[in-house]
Structure 1
């Protein structure tokens, strides 16, 4: 007989592992702009995860939405404008800001930059 505590743990782990989402390279909703490409890797009720590739000198449009936004630079050098304040981010740098303030990203490097953005809640971020 399995003790009650072990059954409870088994149920929690089963629920946890049953909610796994995997996106392979090349999968996900894609939104392209002038010099940048957003790929939605995961969208749930609580968050959206976006992988962005942005060409040198290119920038996103100003955008605002509810919640918070976390950005992590995987490659390159970015200039992040949040409410008129400018922040420079490089490889492995990250930032968190409220999404209600207009914000945009520009690649200030000489090569394509790649960064990951997590928005919570997902609201209408990159949705139709």
Structure 2
């Protein structure tokens, strides 16, 4: 067993107000908690990992190249590996979510990008 205390976990802000926290995981899967301020959107991107995005608070709209879906608290979406997408806080309050990646993703994904 390898517990991770939230307040002691690795964290960074890829952009101001967009915070990510690395939670328990392995090579098989990883969990990343995140928060986004109102109006913030990640850039369109893809990755080799399948992803489940679960909304814990607020509202998030997930955009793919051919579709968009708005999720509320406790709603989730599955994204296939290499499916281009961006995640936007379209609500008026801070949004909080949990990303699950399989296989596990390196936590420096956003800091290692060009």
Asked if TM exceeds 0.5, the reply is: yes
**Alpha-carbon distance, 1:23 to partner:** 1.6
Whether 1:67 and 2:49 are equivalent positions in the alignment is yes
RMSD, matched Cα: 1.7
Quote how far apart the aligned CAs of 1:124 are: 4.0
Normalising by structure 1, we get a TM-score of 0.76
Quote the offset at 1:95 in angstroms. Answer: 1.0
TM-score by length of 2: 0.85
Structure 1 stretch displaced more, 26-35 or 62-71: 26-35
Runs of 4+ in 1 over 6 A off after TM superposition: none
Q: How many residues align?
A: 109
Q: Is the deviation greater in 43-52 or in 77-86?
A: 77-86
**Does the 8 A contact of 1:28 with 1:42 survive in 2?**
no
Deviations 1:46-84 (A, max 9, x none): 011000010001111222111310111100001101234
**Structure 1: which 5+ runs fail to align?**
1-19
2:10 counterpart of 1:29: yes
